[in-house]
Amino acid sequence: METNHILIVEDDKEIREGVQIYLQSQGYKVFQAADGIEGLEIIDKEEIHLAVVDIMMPRMDGIQMMMKLREKYDFPVIMLSAKSEEVDKITGLNLGADDYVTKPFTPMELMARVNSQIRRYKRFMEKLEPKENVHVIGGLEINEDTVEVSVDGNPVKVTPIEYKILLLLAKNPGHVFSAEEIYERVWQERAINTDTIMVHVRNIREKIEVNPKNPKYLKVVWGVGYKIEKQS
């Protein structure tokens, strides 16, 4: 199981070490920094998945650190604040902090916030990971695992043959396939009469295009064949 890395940026050594002991007991790898400058140095050297950052610190406070951090990184940040630092807390949230904990706090409270933010970050990163069996061209998506087609998030019902034609074209965006090539690849036999391809293409267009007469995705290259247009 992957070990998540937590950075604690806090000028109070007792708080730093207390939080570290508790987080380590829960399976996290913990890094410590006494101020924002040290914190940023660690972030540049290590892979950090979440930072716990105090607002009031010498040299560089939590607000300044947050501004610098968000120029390059998007992992979650939990701010630590005293009750008297309400304005700073709001400023931190506006600058990109994901949550805050008011001092004094219990280890259980901080742990619950850390676990929640780590779960959210993992889900966010999973969505960003490219999926080998999902082909996305603009708003058109073909999922080989579920054998589903959607346009702009809306499911589209296609026949098995339409799906195979669409998948062939979507896996090769910009490539022009002749009717004969499509027939032979989809039906797995020699093409004798390819008139059926034109009918299937017309039906696919009716289902995936907003305006089938001016298609965005499935284009005809006259005298050559068909292609799925690349989308920027």
Provide the pLDDT for residue 84: 66
| C-beta of residue 165 within 8 angstroms of C-beta of residue 177 | no
Whole-prediction pTM value? 0.57
Per-residue pLDDT in tens (0 to 9) along the chain, 232 residues? 578 999 999 999 999 999 999 999 989 999 999 999 999 999 999 999 999 999 999 999 999 999 999 999 989 999 998 876 677 778 878 888 899 898 888 888 999 999 999 988 887 776 666 566 888 898 999 998 889 999 988 999 999 999 999 999 999 999 999 999 999 999 988 888 888 999 999 999 999 999 988 999 999 998 899 999 887 6
Provide the pLDDT for residue 76: 93
Provide the pLDDT for residue 134: 86
Provide the pLDDT for residue 121: 84
Q: How many CA atoms lie within 13 A of 88 on its CB side?
A: 20
For residue 78, the 8-state DSSP code is E
Provide the pLDDT for residue 10: 95
Provide the pLDDT for residue 232: 64
Write out the E strands in 34-89: 50-54, 77-81
Provide the pLDDT for residue 104: 87
Provide the pLDDT for residue 23: 93
Q: How many CA atoms lie within 13 A of 77 on its CB side?
A: 28
Tokens found for residue 216: 């965005």
